[in-house]
């Protein structure tokens, strides 16, 4: 079975079992082996994908559908306190949670939207949001994006991808800048297992 770990503070009073060690070292059997996501057998070579670049309507729709509503990927945990989880999003008598990966992608999509709304004068805003609503929500949006910068900073440091990258070859043969394309990554997880896990916990 998998396990959940990583808390630094002591377990809340009344929840620590006899002989149990603090959060930073204790392991709890998870409700599904999905918390031990296996690595892909083949390395993933990062390549430029034009579908995700630019600010055309098709690209914007792709980002919005896949990631802007990141909390569409919430899932139900039965007896969440047994796993050291705090109160989740209420869903009747159940509680929903979200994996950090989807929160991170949601943040990235939010930053992208804020960027293109500035450079394109809100040309690619969500269809269900009016210009007046955008102006009213401007401060809140800035606060959300600012939070996302720090959240993503810590998320990148937490995952600490140690893949060694090399600079690209320029047309004149020189190597000056590193763009990350064409580099194989050997520590990529099998996202299909995460997708199946979420689908099974709705």
Task: Using CB atoms within 10 Å of the CB of residue 48, give its burial: 0 to 12 exposed, 13 to 18 middle, 19+ buried.
Answer: exposed
Domain check: are 103 and 25 in the same one? no
Query: Which residue range forms the structural domain that includes residue 26?
Result: 1-30
Domain check: are 26 and 48 in the same one? no
Confidence (pTM): 0.73
Q: Which of 20, 32, 24, 9 is nearest to 196 (CA)?
A: 32
Q: What is the DSSP letter of 16?
A: P
Domain check: are 118 and 191 in the same one? yes
Q: What is the pLDDT of residue 181?
A: 95
Domain check: are 69 and 144 in the same one? yes
Number of neighbours of residue 1 by Cβ within 10 angstroms = 11
CB 154 within 8 A of CB 20: no
Domain check: are 5 and 50 in the same one? no
Q: What is the pLDDT along the chain (202 residues), one digit of tens a residue?
A: 333 333 334 444 445 444 443 333 333 344 444 456 778 889 999 999 999 998 888 998 899 888 877 678 899 988 888 878 889 999 999 999 999 999 999 999 888 888 888 776 655 555 555 556 555 555 456 667 888 999 999 999 999 999 999 999 998 989 989 999 999 999 899 989 888 888 988 8
């Amino acid at each position: 079975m998998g396990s959940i770990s990583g808390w630094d503070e002591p377990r809340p009073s009344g929840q620590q079992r006899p002989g149990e060690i603090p959060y930073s070292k204790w392991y709890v059997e998870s409700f599904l082996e999905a918390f031990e996501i296996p690595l892909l057998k083949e390395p993933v070579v990062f390549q430029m994908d034009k579908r995700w670049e630019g600010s055309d309507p098709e690209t914007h729709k792709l980002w919005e559908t896949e990631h802007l509503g990141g909390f569409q990927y919430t899932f139900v945990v039965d007896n969440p306190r047994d796993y050291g989880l705090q109160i989740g999003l209420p869903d009747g008598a159940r509680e929903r949670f979200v994996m950090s990966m989807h929160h991170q992608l949601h943040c990235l999509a939010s930053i992208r939207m804020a960027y293109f709304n500035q450079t394109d004068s809100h040309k690619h805003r969500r269809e269900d949001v009016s210009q007046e609503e955008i102006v009213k929500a401007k401060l809140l949006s800035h606060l959300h994006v600012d939070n996302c910068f720090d959240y993503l900073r810590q998320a990148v440091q937490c995952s600490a991808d140690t893949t060694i990258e090399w600079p690209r070859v320029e047309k004149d043969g020189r190597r000056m800048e590193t763009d990350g394309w064409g580099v194989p990554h050997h520590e990529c997880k099998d996202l299909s297992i995460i997708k199946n896990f979420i689908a099974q916990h709705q």
